[in-house]
Structure 1
Amino acid sequence: MNRCPKCGREGRRSVKRVVSKGRVYWYEVFRHPDGSVCVIRRLSEEEVEAIRPSIDRLEYELLGAKRLIELLLEEIWRRNEALQSARDEALRTLYTAKLYSSHLVKLVEALVKGKDLSPGEDS
């Protein structure tokens, strides 16, 4: 942000179009973050064209921004996939741990009760 030449506060330089009594007037203004506007001076048509960015430049900048957004979306998608596979792996590990712990509980209960734990023959 730049400093306003009129009031010294921070703001952004801009061009304002005003229609009065059927005529179009252009003003150089400073827009402040609080919403207030300082009028700096009146501009001619030539000055307005010189200040306003060309459509070609804006189009080029938008295409560049679009490409960056696409790259960011692709990166977010990849990270999301990695997070999902990590979550799935954690859930599998948790399920396995619960399964082993439940079998361990049954084994300990059987040992405490003095049951025969030899495999194969059931009585």
Structure 2
Amino acid sequence: MFSDIAGVRSALKARLAPALPDHWSIEEHLSQPPTEYRSPLVTFEFTRLESAPEGQTLGTGQVGAAVDIVLGSPKTAEGGGEDDVDQLALTLVQVIDVQSDMYWSTAEKQRLTAGQWVWRVHTIVLTESKEQ
């Protein structure tokens, strides 16, 4: 279980980075979609909280944090780029599948206005809420 909802992005980065290929870049926060990047790029969008993720009842103080993991490829603007980002998405979901406290249900492909294809993988991360 992720230890603190406030640090879910940094915890996700720490968890996923060792399991992903070395040349992938992971950014915890990204205010604007990148228009040019040189390696596969992963970012996190914390979208909602759930009290019963995947139909399971959570204990007191536990929360399901819905985080979209967004993955793009630097090749998507070139020919064959769509196939490249599809393969990258399969790599990402295989890494998520082996996590015991993180689940993905669906993923959808989108095209940015700059022409790049990205995959948005909808995940639930089991975490705890700590009182302030």
- TM category, shorter: under 0.3
Q: Which has the higher contact order (CA 8 A, sep 6+)?
A: 2
User: Could you say which structure has the higher helix fraction?
Assistant: 1
TM-score by length of 2: 0.20
> Between Structure 1 and Structure 2, whose CA radius of gyration is higher?
1
User: Could you say which structure has the higher strand fraction?
Assistant: 2
